[in-house]
Structure 1
Protein backbone atom coordinates (compact mmCIF):
# COMPACT_ATOMS: atom_id res chain seq x y z
CA UNK A 1 0.00 0.00 0.00
CA UNK A 2 1.37 3.43 -0.97
CA UNK A 3 1.77 5.88 1.91
CA UNK A 4 -0.32 9.05 1.86
CA UNK A 5 1.58 12.09 0.55
CA UNK A 6 1.06 15.41 2.34
CA UNK A 7 2.31 18.64 0.80
CA UNK A 8 3.15 20.97 3.66
CA UNK A 9 3.77 24.71 3.44
CA UNK A 10 4.58 24.92 7.15
CA UNK A 11 4.47 22.90 10.40
CA UNK A 12 0.85 23.90 11.01
CA UNK A 13 -0.21 21.82 8.00
CA UNK A 14 1.02 18.69 9.78
CA UNK A 15 -0.44 19.18 13.26
CA UNK A 16 -3.52 17.07 12.69
CA UNK A 17 -1.41 14.18 11.39
CA UNK A 18 0.88 13.91 14.42
CA UNK A 19 0.53 10.60 16.32
CA UNK A 20 -0.92 11.01 19.79
CA UNK A 21 -1.01 8.70 22.78
CA UNK A 22 -4.41 7.41 23.84
CA UNK A 23 -3.30 6.59 27.40
CA UNK A 24 -1.26 9.67 28.30
CA UNK A 25 2.04 7.95 27.58
CA UNK A 26 4.88 9.11 25.35
CA UNK A 27 4.72 8.96 21.55
CA UNK A 28 7.76 8.64 19.28
CA UNK A 29 7.58 9.99 15.72
CA UNK A 30 10.36 9.09 13.31
CA UNK A 31 11.25 11.29 10.34
CA UNK A 32 13.38 9.69 7.64
CA UNK A 33 14.56 10.40 4.11
CA UNK A 34 17.83 10.71 2.19
CA UNK A 35 20.70 13.00 3.24
CA UNK A 36 19.85 16.66 2.73
CA UNK A 37 16.09 16.09 2.47
CA UNK A 38 15.18 18.45 5.33
CA UNK A 39 14.54 15.98 8.16
CA UNK A 40 16.09 18.01 10.96
CA UNK A 41 14.46 21.28 9.88
CA UNK A 42 11.05 19.60 9.85
CA UNK A 43 11.69 17.95 13.23
CA UNK A 44 12.77 21.19 14.86
CA UNK A 45 9.85 23.12 13.39
CA UNK A 46 7.39 20.61 14.84
CA UNK A 47 9.08 20.72 18.24
CA UNK A 48 9.18 24.53 18.25
CA UNK A 49 5.40 24.57 17.79
CA UNK A 50 4.98 23.16 21.32
CA UNK A 51 8.39 23.18 23.03
CA UNK A 52 7.19 22.37 26.54
CA UNK A 53 5.67 19.07 25.47
CA UNK A 54 7.77 18.02 22.46
CA UNK A 55 11.41 17.06 22.18
CA UNK A 56 13.95 16.33 19.44
CA UNK A 57 16.35 13.36 19.57
CA UNK A 58 18.39 12.91 16.35
CA UNK A 59 19.89 9.60 15.21
CA UNK A 60 23.25 11.17 14.35
CA UNK A 61 24.53 10.93 17.91
CA UNK A 62 24.93 7.20 17.27
CA UNK A 63 27.64 7.63 14.63
CA UNK A 64 30.63 5.49 15.54
CA UNK A 65 33.59 7.64 16.55
CA UNK A 66 36.40 7.89 13.98
CA UNK A 67 38.57 5.65 16.17
CA UNK A 68 36.06 2.82 15.80
CA UNK A 69 35.50 3.51 12.11
CA UNK A 70 39.23 3.21 11.49
CA UNK A 71 39.37 -0.02 13.50
CA UNK A 72 36.58 -1.50 11.36
CA UNK A 73 37.97 -0.12 8.09
CA UNK A 74 34.88 2.05 7.56
CA UNK A 75 36.28 5.58 7.79
CA UNK A 76 35.71 6.25 4.09
CA UNK A 77 32.07 5.12 4.41
CA UNK A 78 31.10 7.38 7.31
CA UNK A 79 27.35 7.86 7.16
CA UNK A 80 26.51 4.42 5.74
CA UNK A 81 24.19 2.18 7.83
CA UNK A 82 27.02 0.06 9.21
CA UNK A 83 28.78 3.14 10.62
CA UNK A 84 26.08 3.68 13.28
CA UNK A 85 25.35 1.93 16.57
CA UNK A 86 21.81 0.96 15.55
CA UNK A 87 21.25 -1.31 18.53
CA UNK A 88 22.34 1.44 20.92
CA UNK A 89 19.92 3.82 19.21
CA UNK A 90 17.07 1.31 19.54
CA UNK A 91 17.88 0.84 23.23
CA UNK A 92 17.74 4.60 23.84
CA UNK A 93 14.38 4.85 22.04
CA UNK A 94 13.02 2.04 24.21
CA UNK A 95 14.10 3.90 27.36
CA UNK A 96 12.56 7.13 26.09
CA UNK A 97 9.32 5.41 25.13
CA UNK A 98 9.00 4.11 28.68
CA UNK A 99 8.92 7.73 29.91
CA UNK A 100 10.77 7.34 33.21
CA UNK A 101 10.36 10.01 35.87
CA UNK A 102 13.92 11.27 35.45
CA UNK A 103 15.79 13.08 32.68
CA UNK A 104 17.52 10.86 30.12
CA UNK A 105 20.64 12.12 28.35
CA UNK A 106 21.09 11.35 24.65
CA UNK A 107 24.18 11.72 22.44
CA UNK A 108 24.48 14.27 19.66
CA UNK A 109 26.73 14.63 16.61
CA UNK A 110 28.97 17.71 16.69
CA UNK A 111 29.52 18.71 13.06
CA UNK A 112 32.40 21.05 13.82
CA UNK A 113 34.27 18.07 15.30
CA UNK A 114 32.66 15.47 13.01
CA UNK A 115 32.31 13.31 16.14
CA UNK A 116 29.51 12.11 18.45
CA UNK A 117 29.26 13.58 21.95
CA UNK A 118 27.78 11.45 24.72
CA UNK A 119 25.19 12.70 27.23
CA UNK A 120 24.88 16.09 25.52
CA UNK A 121 21.08 16.26 25.02
CA UNK A 122 18.72 16.19 28.02
CA UNK A 123 15.27 14.68 27.47
CA UNK A 124 12.96 15.80 30.26
CA UNK A 125 10.28 13.46 31.63
CA UNK A 126 7.48 15.94 30.88
CA UNK A 127 7.86 15.64 27.09
CA UNK A 128 4.95 13.67 25.62
CA UNK A 129 5.97 13.66 21.92
CA UNK A 130 9.54 12.91 20.92
CA UNK A 131 10.61 13.40 17.32
CA UNK A 132 13.65 11.51 16.11
CA UNK A 133 15.09 11.76 12.63
CA UNK A 134 17.67 9.87 10.63
CA UNK A 135 18.41 8.19 7.34
CA UNK A 136 17.78 4.55 8.14
CA UNK A 137 14.67 4.38 10.34
CA UNK A 138 12.90 2.10 7.84
CA UNK A 139 15.85 -0.03 6.79
CA UNK A 140 15.08 -3.76 6.91
CA UNK A 141 18.33 -4.81 8.57
CA UNK A 142 19.50 -5.97 12.03
CA UNK A 143 19.43 -3.13 14.52
CA UNK A 144 17.39 -0.87 12.26
CA UNK A 145 14.38 -3.17 12.51
CA UNK A 146 14.63 -2.74 16.28
CA UNK A 147 14.73 1.04 15.81
CA UNK A 148 11.59 0.97 13.67
CA UNK A 149 9.85 -1.19 16.25
CA UNK A 150 10.12 1.58 18.86
CA UNK A 151 8.45 4.24 16.71
CA UNK A 152 4.74 5.03 16.71
CA UNK A 153 4.91 6.29 13.11
CA UNK A 154 7.60 7.05 10.54
CA UNK A 155 7.29 9.87 8.02
CA UNK A 156 9.38 9.95 4.83
CA UNK A 157 10.54 13.41 3.71
CA UNK A 158 10.48 14.11 -0.02
CA UNK A 159 12.26 16.95 -1.84
CA UNK A 160 13.56 17.66 -5.34
CA UNK A 161 16.78 15.59 -5.82
CA UNK A 162 18.70 18.43 -7.47
CA UNK A 163 17.96 20.73 -4.53
CA UNK A 164 18.95 18.01 -2.07
CA UNK A 165 22.29 17.27 -3.80
CA UNK A 166 23.29 20.94 -3.95
CA UNK A 167 22.37 21.30 -0.29
CA UNK A 168 24.69 18.41 0.56
CA UNK A 169 27.58 19.90 -1.39
CA UNK A 170 27.08 23.25 0.34
CA UNK A 171 27.01 21.54 3.74
CA UNK A 172 30.27 19.67 3.17
CA UNK A 173 31.95 22.87 1.99
CA UNK A 174 30.63 24.72 5.03
CA UNK A 175 32.27 22.18 7.31
CA UNK A 176 35.68 22.25 5.67
CA UNK A 177 35.77 20.27 2.41
CA UNK A 178 36.81 21.83 -0.88
CA UNK A 179 34.04 21.96 -3.47
CA UNK A 180 35.68 19.18 -5.50
CA UNK A 181 36.05 17.00 -2.39
CA UNK A 182 32.45 17.77 -1.41
CA UNK A 183 31.12 16.74 -4.83
CA UNK A 184 33.19 13.55 -4.74
CA UNK A 185 31.89 12.64 -1.28
CA UNK A 186 28.28 13.26 -2.32
CA UNK A 187 28.72 11.11 -5.43
CA UNK A 188 30.62 8.26 -3.76
CA UNK A 189 29.01 8.14 -0.28
CA UNK A 190 25.86 10.26 0.10
CA UNK A 191 24.11 9.29 -3.12
CA UNK A 192 24.51 5.49 -2.76
CA UNK A 193 23.07 5.93 0.73
CA UNK A 194 20.25 8.06 -0.70
CA UNK A 195 19.29 5.30 -3.15
CA UNK A 196 19.23 2.78 -0.31
CA UNK A 197 17.02 5.06 1.78
CA UNK A 198 14.66 5.87 -1.08
CA UNK A 199 13.96 2.14 -1.43
CA UNK A 200 12.44 2.21 2.09
CA UNK A 201 9.83 4.85 1.20
CA UNK A 202 7.02 2.30 0.78
CA UNK A 203 7.33 1.30 4.44
CA UNK A 204 6.57 4.84 5.67
CA UNK A 205 3.26 5.78 7.28
CA UNK A 206 3.23 9.10 5.41
CA UNK A 207 5.30 10.90 2.78
CA UNK A 208 5.83 14.60 3.47
CA UNK A 209 6.48 16.83 0.45
CA UNK A 210 8.57 19.82 1.62
CA UNK A 211 8.75 21.62 -1.72
CA UNK A 212 6.88 24.67 -0.38
CA UNK A 213 7.74 24.26 3.30
CA UNK A 214 8.77 27.42 5.17
CA UNK A 215 9.81 27.71 8.81
CA UNK A 216 7.83 30.44 10.65
CA UNK A 217 9.87 33.65 10.78
CA UNK A 218 12.43 32.43 8.24
CA UNK A 219 10.68 33.90 5.23
CA UNK A 220 11.94 31.36 2.71
CA UNK A 221 11.15 27.81 1.59
CA UNK A 222 13.01 25.04 3.36
CA UNK A 223 15.07 24.06 0.33
CA UNK A 224 16.85 27.45 0.40
CA UNK A 225 17.86 27.24 4.05
CA UNK A 226 21.03 25.66 5.51
CA UNK A 227 20.10 22.12 6.49
CA UNK A 228 21.52 19.49 8.80
CA UNK A 229 19.92 16.39 7.35
Structure 2
Protein backbone atom coordinates (compact mmCIF):
# COMPACT_ATOMS: atom_id res chain seq x y z
CA UNK A 1 0.00 0.00 0.00
CA UNK A 2 1.41 3.40 -0.97
CA UNK A 3 2.27 5.95 1.67
CA UNK A 4 -0.31 8.70 2.23
CA UNK A 5 -0.05 12.19 3.62
CA UNK A 6 -2.46 11.26 6.42
CA UNK A 7 -0.13 8.42 7.40
CA UNK A 8 2.76 10.89 7.56
CA UNK A 9 0.73 13.21 9.77
CA UNK A 10 -0.20 10.35 12.10
CA UNK A 11 3.43 9.27 12.34
CA UNK A 12 4.56 12.80 13.15
CA UNK A 13 1.84 13.21 15.80
CA UNK A 14 2.90 9.94 17.45
CA UNK A 15 6.38 11.33 18.09
CA UNK A 16 5.00 13.42 20.96
CA UNK A 17 2.57 10.86 22.36
CA UNK A 18 4.46 10.93 25.68
CA UNK A 19 4.19 14.72 25.96
CA UNK A 20 7.93 15.26 25.56
CA UNK A 21 9.33 17.53 22.88
CA UNK A 22 10.41 15.80 19.67
CA UNK A 23 12.23 17.10 16.60
CA UNK A 24 11.29 15.64 13.23
CA UNK A 25 13.93 16.12 10.56
CA UNK A 26 13.19 16.15 6.84
CA UNK A 27 16.29 15.67 4.70
CA UNK A 28 16.83 15.65 0.96
CA UNK A 29 18.64 17.45 -1.86
CA UNK A 30 17.89 21.00 -2.99
CA UNK A 31 14.33 21.48 -4.34
CA UNK A 32 13.20 17.98 -3.31
CA UNK A 33 10.12 19.43 -1.59
CA UNK A 34 11.37 19.43 2.00
CA UNK A 35 9.97 22.84 2.91
CA UNK A 36 6.64 22.22 1.18
CA UNK A 37 6.27 18.94 3.06
CA UNK A 38 7.14 20.61 6.38
CA UNK A 39 4.69 23.48 5.82
CA UNK A 40 1.87 21.17 4.76
CA UNK A 41 2.47 18.87 7.73
CA UNK A 42 2.32 21.74 10.19
CA UNK A 43 -0.82 23.15 8.58
CA UNK A 44 -2.52 19.76 8.94
CA UNK A 45 -1.25 19.03 12.44
CA UNK A 46 -1.61 22.42 14.14
CA UNK A 47 -5.41 22.38 14.65
CA UNK A 48 -5.45 18.69 15.68
CA UNK A 49 -3.06 18.15 18.61
CA UNK A 50 -2.71 14.98 20.65
CA UNK A 51 -4.68 14.91 23.90
CA UNK A 52 -3.46 17.42 26.45
CA UNK A 53 -1.67 19.74 24.01
CA UNK A 54 -2.74 23.16 22.79
CA UNK A 55 -3.95 23.58 19.23
CA UNK A 56 -1.67 25.55 16.90
CA UNK A 57 1.08 26.25 19.45
CA UNK A 58 2.09 22.59 19.82
CA UNK A 59 3.96 22.50 16.49
CA UNK A 60 6.73 24.73 15.15
CA UNK A 61 8.76 24.96 11.96
CA UNK A 62 12.50 25.58 12.29
CA UNK A 63 14.42 25.13 9.01
CA UNK A 64 18.14 24.35 9.05
CA UNK A 65 18.76 27.03 6.39
CA UNK A 66 19.16 29.77 9.01
CA UNK A 67 22.56 28.24 9.74
CA UNK A 68 23.99 29.21 6.34
CA UNK A 69 27.16 31.19 6.90
CA UNK A 70 26.73 34.78 5.72
CA UNK A 71 28.31 35.74 2.41
CA UNK A 72 30.85 37.98 4.14
CA UNK A 73 32.10 34.97 6.11
CA UNK A 74 32.09 32.73 3.04
CA UNK A 75 34.23 35.33 1.27
CA UNK A 76 36.67 35.35 4.20
CA UNK A 77 36.90 31.57 4.13
CA UNK A 78 37.20 31.38 0.34
CA UNK A 79 33.97 29.36 0.10
CA UNK A 80 31.66 31.80 -1.69
CA UNK A 81 31.58 29.73 -4.89
CA UNK A 82 30.63 26.63 -2.87
CA UNK A 83 27.68 28.16 -1.05
CA UNK A 84 25.29 25.40 -0.01
CA UNK A 85 28.03 22.78 0.52
CA UNK A 86 28.23 21.10 3.96
CA UNK A 87 31.11 23.28 5.18
CA UNK A 88 29.24 26.51 4.35
CA UNK A 89 26.84 25.97 7.26
CA UNK A 90 27.31 26.32 11.00
CA UNK A 91 26.60 22.65 11.72
CA UNK A 92 27.63 22.84 15.37
CA UNK A 93 25.45 25.91 15.91
CA UNK A 94 22.48 24.01 14.47
CA UNK A 95 23.23 21.05 16.74
CA UNK A 96 23.41 23.42 19.71
CA UNK A 97 19.91 24.71 18.91
CA UNK A 98 18.55 21.15 18.69
CA UNK A 99 20.19 20.29 22.02
CA UNK A 100 18.65 23.34 23.64
CA UNK A 101 15.22 22.46 22.27
CA UNK A 102 15.42 19.18 24.17
CA UNK A 103 17.15 20.37 27.33
CA UNK A 104 15.20 23.59 27.93
CA UNK A 105 11.75 22.45 26.83
CA UNK A 106 10.12 23.36 30.16
CA UNK A 107 12.29 26.34 31.12
CA UNK A 108 12.57 29.00 28.42
CA UNK A 109 9.62 31.17 27.50
CA UNK A 110 10.81 31.38 23.92
CA UNK A 111 13.82 30.07 22.04
CA UNK A 112 14.85 32.04 18.97
CA UNK A 113 16.31 30.46 15.85
CA UNK A 114 17.77 32.16 12.78
CA UNK A 115 15.82 32.19 9.52
CA UNK A 116 16.96 32.44 5.90
CA UNK A 117 15.76 35.08 3.46
CA UNK A 118 15.89 33.72 -0.09
CA UNK A 119 15.48 37.11 -1.75
CA UNK A 120 18.86 38.23 -0.38
CA UNK A 121 20.13 34.66 0.24
CA UNK A 122 21.28 35.53 3.74
CA UNK A 123 20.59 34.20 7.27
CA UNK A 124 18.55 36.44 9.59
CA UNK A 125 19.29 36.16 13.31
CA UNK A 126 16.47 35.69 15.81
CA UNK A 127 13.80 35.36 13.11
CA UNK A 128 11.94 32.27 14.35
CA UNK A 129 10.39 32.14 17.85
CA UNK A 130 9.78 28.69 19.35
CA UNK A 131 7.27 28.85 22.17
CA UNK A 132 7.50 26.74 25.30
CA UNK A 133 4.21 25.04 24.34
CA UNK A 134 5.75 23.64 21.15
CA UNK A 135 6.16 19.88 21.47
CA UNK A 136 6.77 18.87 17.86
CA UNK A 137 9.45 20.78 15.99
CA UNK A 138 9.74 20.14 12.24
CA UNK A 139 13.17 21.00 10.87
CA UNK A 140 14.17 20.39 7.27
CA UNK A 141 17.61 20.62 5.74
CA UNK A 142 20.04 19.06 3.31
CA UNK A 143 22.60 17.52 5.61
CA UNK A 144 20.69 16.09 8.57
CA UNK A 145 22.00 12.59 7.86
CA UNK A 146 25.56 13.46 6.87
CA UNK A 147 28.16 11.40 8.74
CA UNK A 148 31.07 13.82 8.99
CA UNK A 149 32.69 15.07 12.22
CA UNK A 150 30.58 18.22 12.55
CA UNK A 151 27.33 17.01 11.01
CA UNK A 152 27.16 13.69 12.85
CA UNK A 153 26.36 15.64 16.03
CA UNK A 154 22.96 16.46 14.49
CA UNK A 155 21.41 13.03 13.92
CA UNK A 156 21.20 11.90 17.59
CA UNK A 157 19.23 15.07 18.36
CA UNK A 158 16.48 14.27 15.83
CA UNK A 159 13.69 11.93 16.89
CA UNK A 160 13.20 10.75 13.31
CA UNK A 161 14.53 11.79 9.92
CA UNK A 162 12.50 11.42 6.72
CA UNK A 163 14.09 11.69 3.28
CA UNK A 164 12.29 13.54 0.47
CA UNK A 165 12.99 11.19 -2.42
CA UNK A 166 11.89 13.27 -5.41
CA UNK A 167 12.84 12.17 -8.92
CA UNK A 168 15.86 13.90 -10.44
CA UNK A 169 14.17 15.49 -13.45
CA UNK A 170 11.41 17.18 -11.44
CA UNK A 171 13.86 18.29 -8.78
CA UNK A 172 16.23 19.93 -11.27
CA UNK A 173 13.36 21.69 -13.05
CA UNK A 174 12.12 23.05 -9.73
CA UNK A 175 15.60 24.09 -8.66
CA UNK A 176 16.33 26.01 -11.84
CA UNK A 177 12.93 27.72 -11.64
CA UNK A 178 13.61 28.67 -8.02
CA UNK A 179 16.98 30.21 -8.85
CA UNK A 180 15.37 32.25 -11.63
CA UNK A 181 12.50 33.31 -9.36
CA UNK A 182 14.97 34.69 -6.83
CA UNK A 183 16.97 36.70 -9.31
CA UNK A 184 19.48 34.56 -11.18
CA UNK A 185 19.51 34.91 -15.00
CA UNK A 186 18.49 31.64 -16.63
CA UNK A 187 22.00 30.64 -17.84
CA UNK A 188 23.42 31.27 -14.37
CA UNK A 189 20.53 29.38 -12.75
CA UNK A 190 21.14 26.35 -14.97
CA UNK A 191 24.90 26.45 -14.38
CA UNK A 192 24.49 26.70 -10.59
CA UNK A 193 21.80 23.99 -10.39
CA UNK A 194 23.76 21.51 -12.51
CA UNK A 195 27.13 22.43 -11.04
CA UNK A 196 27.48 23.43 -7.39
CA UNK A 197 23.99 22.28 -6.41
CA UNK A 198 24.40 18.93 -8.17
CA UNK A 199 27.65 18.18 -6.34
CA UNK A 200 25.84 18.85 -3.08
CA UNK A 201 22.87 16.73 -4.18
CA UNK A 202 25.17 13.76 -4.76
CA UNK A 203 26.55 14.11 -1.23
CA UNK A 204 23.01 14.24 0.17
CA UNK A 205 21.80 11.28 -1.92
CA UNK A 206 24.53 9.14 -0.35
CA UNK A 207 22.85 9.64 3.06
CA UNK A 208 19.45 8.39 1.85
CA UNK A 209 19.74 4.92 3.39
CA UNK A 210 20.23 6.38 6.87
CA UNK A 211 16.70 7.83 6.95
CA UNK A 212 13.92 6.36 9.06
CA UNK A 213 11.43 6.84 6.24
CA UNK A 214 11.57 7.59 2.52
CA UNK A 215 8.85 9.94 1.29
CA UNK A 216 8.35 8.80 -2.31
CA UNK A 217 8.19 10.98 -5.39
CA UNK A 218 4.54 10.22 -6.13
CA UNK A 219 3.50 11.61 -2.74
CA UNK A 220 5.82 14.61 -3.00
CA UNK A 221 4.26 15.45 -6.38
CA UNK A 222 0.83 15.65 -4.73
CA UNK A 223 1.79 17.63 -1.64
CA UNK A 224 1.18 21.34 -1.95
CA UNK A 225 -1.00 21.09 -5.04
CA UNK A 226 -4.51 22.50 -4.83
CA UNK A 227 -7.21 19.83 -4.93
CA UNK A 228 -8.60 19.12 -8.39
- TM-score normalised by the chain length of structure 2: 0.89
In 1: Cα distance, 2:159 partner to 2:7 partner: 20
Q: Secondary structure at the match of 2:19?
A: coil
Write out aligned runs for 1:82-161 (5 A): 82-98=87-103, 99=105, 100-161=107-168
Write out aligned runs for 1:1-229 (5 A): 7-8=3-4, 11-18=5-12, 19-21=14-16, 23-51=18-46, 52=56, 53-98=58-103, 99=105, 100-213=107-220, 214-215=222-223, 218-219=226-227
> Quick check: 2:31–2:174 contact (8 Å CA) kept in 1?
yes
In 2: Cα distance, 1:193 partner to 1:55 partner: 27
- TM-score normalised by the chain length of structure 1: 0.88
CA spacing shift, 1:6–1:150, aligned 2, 3 Å: farther
In 1: Cα distance, 2:195 partner to 2:84 partner: 11
| Structure 1 residue 216: Cα displacement | 6.5
In 1: Cα distance, 2:195 partner to 2:172 partner: 12
| Structure 1 residue 22: Cα displacement | 5.2
Aligned residue pairs, count: 214
Q: Secondary structure at the match of 2:16?
A: coil
| Structure 1 residue 20: Cα displacement | 1.6
- Residue of structure 2 equivalent to 1:223: none
CA spacing shift, 1:6–1:59, aligned 2, 3 Å: farther
**Larger relative CO (CA 8 A, sep 6+): 1 or 2?**
1
Offset from partner CA, 1:17-68 (integer Å, 9 cap, x none)? 2252354210111000111100000011111112211111000000000000
- Root mean square deviation, CA, Å: 1.7
> Quick check: 1:6–1:208 contact (8 Å CA) kept in 2?
no
| Structure 1 residue 178: Cα displacement | 0.9
> Quick check: 2:9–2:44 contact (8 Å CA) kept in 1?
no
In 2: Cα distance, 1:217 partner to 1:32 partner: 21
| Structure 1 residue 143: Cα displacement | 2.0
In 2: Cα distance, 1:136 partner to 1:58 partner: 12
In 2: Cα distance, 1:195 partner to 1:185 partner: 14
